[in-house]
Chains A and B, each alone.
Chain A
């Protein structure tokens, strides 16, 4: 039974990420269109049904599947194929420690949690796993045997290593407040009141983490590894067909993970504003068991928070221009890193003074 439940979780939770990807691609196109005063995708239709442009995704999939899959003659074939696989692997494995709702104590005393694994180092696990995604880009750039791809790969690796440090240090302040690295504990520690959430207790850490996560996912204003106007398409310039699609999907999957982590760390995760888990269970309607109702509402609110941060990703991409490369490095090392260290110092002093 326990094995079956775990198996179901393994199937369902990564599926959630996969299913968000087409939605995000649609959102990216629509939001960018409305920001630029256009209508966005509105031509693809099945029997006249357009679903506001969602059908366009199906057309995309058919196009990507039927295109010729080219491996360049000078490429290192093994790493060329391995690279996109690493990207998807990293996204699906990282989602394992994200809690979607409060734990439920079952009748027999067992605890049922809405996450794959409640590690006591959950947060570090996410940092560790997502730090592996740099290999995907590095290998893609190198194995393509293309100058532009190589430049993109080098840019990506130096950028991701630099911003990983800021990301880790921004998270340290959160660890100090919560006294635990388990994501479930961090979420529970924030409580249902919005002004107790870490975004208000740790505003500096929030902005540092947000900026670093944009750099880690290679999104504008940190999308120098792709930099269309300088190096064509960067590390995935030689990729076509479904291998390109994997990079495309991997970017959005990484966005979902980054949004979920940001929501858990700073926006109270599955906490419903003003309603604790107990209050939700009291409020449950007759036709649903109270625990199921509470979990459902919490998961929905968490999903809304994830989608909000995904929207923020898109919003920022179509608003801000790209950094110049030296600006990017200086910003990371000389501005964000000292600020993150300063934030840890202030948090430490605060924890010492305030009991």
Chain B
């Protein structure tokens, strides 16, 4: 049963991910990304991590992708303008992604099935995740929030400078 659902959700995730790259329509690409993120959230549920799953939905599918689609709809890029020539950025992207792919494949090949351990009923709950975030992983957590704050301030500064009249 669990295996069936694993393959089902993996199929959803992967087909979504493939469509993001392959679909000629920009909006459809973004919608496929949502489907893919939804599949990942389902996989998190299978892994007994409901909190991460709901956060995945709430933040990525519910908020960030809305902004993606918002921008796509406002700019409305033409559908058949796929980049066919190879640029430096594209080359770099291919290198990095193939590097990541090799690491992933190696990891899967050398994967040893760990012993099955009974998890507590509290595993992956809000309380558990919160305690970990505010004790073991406090510094990375705070640094990440600082990074986000910097990004927000940067966005506000850039946005204000582009006002007509040149007020900064």
Q: How large is the interface on B (under 10, 10 to 19, 20 to 34, 35 or more residues)?
A: 20 to 34
A124 on interface, CB distance cutoff 8 Å:
yes
Whether B70 and A154, one on each chain, are in contact in the complex, defined by CB atoms closer than 8 angstroms, is yes
The one of B54, B66, B127 in contact with A157, judged by C-beta atoms closer than 8 angstroms, is B66
Of B55-63, B107-115, B159-167, the stretch lying at the interface with chain A is: B55-63
Chain A residues in 8 Å Cβ range of B67: 161
A132-B62, A153-B73, A158-B70 as given contacts; A124 in contact with B55, CB under 8 Å = yes
The one of A135, A164, A181 in contact with B126, judged by C-beta atoms closer than 8 angstroms, is A181
Chain B residues in 8 Å Cβ range of A129: 57
Q: Mark B104-134, 1 if CB is under 8 A from A, else 0.
A: 0000000000000000001001110000000
Whether A157 and B70, one on each chain, are in contact in the complex, defined by CB atoms closer than 8 angstroms, is yes
A interface residues, tally (CB under 8 Å): 26
B6 on interface, CB distance cutoff 8 Å:
no
A24 on interface, CB distance cutoff 8 Å:
no
Whether B73 and A154, one on each chain, are in contact in the complex, defined by CB atoms closer than 8 angstroms, is yes
B43 on interface, CB distance cutoff 8 Å:
no
Cα separation A138 to B126 with both chains bound (whole Å): 31
- Distance in angstroms from B55 CB to nearest chain A CB is 7
Chain B contacts with A in 58-92, Cβ cutoff 8 A: 58, 61-63, 66-67, 69-70, 73-74
Q: Mark A123-163, 1 if CB is under 8 A from B, else 0.
A: 01101110110110010001000000010011001100100
A131-B62, A132-B61, A135-B34 as given contacts; A121 in contact with B54, CB under 8 Å = yes
Chain B residues in 8 Å Cβ range of A153: 73
The one of A121, A134, A138, A158 in contact with B51, judged by C-beta atoms closer than 8 angstroms, is A121
A120-B125, A120-B126, A164-B63 as given contacts; A138 in contact with B70, CB under 8 Å = yes
Whether B50 and A131, one on each chain, are in contact in the complex, defined by CB atoms closer than 8 angstroms, is no
A119 on interface, CB distance cutoff 8 Å:
yes
Q: Which residue of chain A has the shortest Cβ distance to B25 in the bound complex? A: A76
B27 on interface, CB distance cutoff 8 Å:
yes
Chain A contacts with B in 91-143, Cβ cutoff 8 A: 119-121, 124-125, 127-129, 131-132, 134-135, 138, 142
- Distance in angstroms from A77 CB to nearest chain B CB is 13
Q: Which residue of chain B has the shortest Cβ distance to A78 in the bound complex? A: B28
Cα separation A131 to B67 with both chains bound (whole Å): 13
Cα separation A157 to B62 with both chains bound (whole Å): 11
Chain A residues in 8 Å Cβ range of B63: 131, 161, 164
Whether A154 and B57, one on each chain, are in contact in the complex, defined by CB atoms closer than 8 angstroms, is no
- Distance in angstroms from A181 CB to nearest chain B CB is 5
Q: Mark A336-350, 1 if CB is under 8 A from B, else 0.
A: 000000000000000
Q: Can you sample 13 A-B contacts with CB below 8 Å?
A: A120-B126, A124-B54, A124-B55, A125-B50, A128-B58, A131-B57, A132-B62, A135-B34, A154-B70, A161-B67, A164-B62, A180-B126, A180-B127
Could you list 12 further interchain pairs (A-B, Cβ under 8 angstroms) beyond the known A132-B62, A134-B66, A138-B70? A79-B31, A119-B50, A120-B125, A120-B126, A121-B51, A128-B62, A132-B57, A164-B63, A175-B126, A180-B126, A180-B127, A181-B126
